[in-house]
Structure 1
Amino acid sequence: MRNCSCALAVLLTVLVTTAFAGETAPEPTDYRTENYRAPVPATLKGAKVVTTEETIALWKDKSAVFVDVLPRDPKPANLPAGTIWREKVREDIPGSIWLANVGYGIINKETEAYFRKGLKSRLGDDTKRKVLFYCMANCWMSWNAAKRAVEWGYKSVLWYPLGTDGWTAAKQPTQKNEPF
């Protein structure tokens, strides 16, 4: 059984690495507003793209604020009476703040206020502190969120395009998290 789990970990690492190292998209000038689970760019103007190794180092030395932007699935409307609804459990990088749904290409004023409040809760008014955005591999949500932070004047924006897929493939710890 141990060999099986090792082989599975190797396979997952290969899949995650291939997902990112393979096809990439050109960097757009504006936000991505559809097809959020697709190849992402290798760059983000105004931000630094970080590898799994760099992300681990930042996490270990606590030198960056980690922001998970994975969307949270809403409870479906019109569930039949008596249907049990269980929200999906989110396991992310320990110590992260989960700002759900802020990575869409178009966000309303309420979501923008929630996003800004979440960043302020961890960064205060320090726009020079490192802030790392992530989601999952090939997910435009983190790219959009990091781009928005750059446009809002944050100076040390980091983007981890492999997200929790890359993190878990590297056998790093995760924790259950709830949105801010």
Structure 2
Amino acid sequence: MRRFIMAAMLVASSALAHEPLFDADGYRVAHYRAPVRQPPAGVGRIALAAAAQLVPDRDAIFIDVLPAEGGHREPDGRWRLASSHDSIPGAHWFPDAGRGQPDPAIAGDFATGVVRLTGRARGRMLILFCRSDCWMGWNAAKRLRSMGFANVWWLAEGTDGWRDLGLPLAPVQPEGGTAT
């Protein structure tokens, strides 16, 4: 019996050590800060210099999906932020929308928010990002493509690359609920 219990504990600890990186639908669900080699199927990768030439909300809708670090979303939809968040000027911030399996309320706010921003035009250019080496922008781009948006782009360098290029970042507030 003792050997059985020890063997069961080894199997259980081994399973925990090998947490899956992707779910059955292909979304990254763990270890989000890791190199990302290519965009999701049907999504283009936009060069940082090309993105910097676009005017947010006129030429493209820039969507930041970085989590609210140290913050959380209240049941009524308001975000409680521990600190401010700087993003590409003119970007719309949907915290946590890039998780592989986002909270249903966050996923719903993301979907309705993007539909609102595009005016239901599925062909509007959408640029999704997070930070460099971050799978959350990738996940969000994949999600919007699966929702039928046809002109989805992924900015792999995210806010890190934008800042490294010497371009300004600006404070943003979360979409889908007021921040406090």
Q: What TM-score, normalized by structure 1, do the two folds share?
A: 0.74
Higher fraction of helix: 1
Number of aligned positions between the proteins: 145
Task: Report whether the alignment pairs 1:120 with 2:115.
Answer: yes
Within 5 A, what are the aligned runs for 1:59-74? Answer: 59=55, 62-74=58-70
Separation in 2, partners of 1:154, 1:135: 19
Tell me, which stretches of 5 or more residues in structure 1 are unaligned? 1-27, 77-84
Match of 1:150 among 136, 145, 150: 145
Tell me, which stretches of 5 or more residues in structure 2 are unaligned? 1-23, 73-79, 176-180
Separation in 2, partners of 1:166, 1:59: 17
Residues 1:75 and 1:97: Cα distance change in structure 2 (over 3 Å): closer
Residues 1:119 and 1:86: Cα distance change in structure 2 (over 3 Å): closer
Question: What root-mean-square deviation, in Å, do the aligned CA atoms of Structure 1 and Structure 2 show?
Answer: 2.1
Could you give the per-residue CA deviations for residues 71-119 of structure 1, whole angstroms, max 9, x where no partner exists? 013448xxxxxxxx97222111111110011000012321221111210
Residues 1:126 and 1:166: Cα distance change in structure 2 (over 3 Å): same
Separation in 1, partners of 2:48, 2:120: 28
Runs in 1 of length 4+ with deviation above 3 angstroms? 59-62
Separation in 1, partners of 2:101, 2:56: 33
Separation in 1, partners of 2:95, 2:162: 19
Within 5 A, what are the aligned runs for 1:16-165? Answer: 30-59=26-55, 62-75=58-71, 87-165=82-160
Aligned to 1:166: 161
Residues 1:61 and 1:100: Cα distance change in structure 2 (over 3 Å): closer
Identity percentage of aligned residues: 32
Q: What TM-score, normalized by structure 2, do the two folds share?
A: 0.74
Deviation, structure 1 residue 58:
2.0
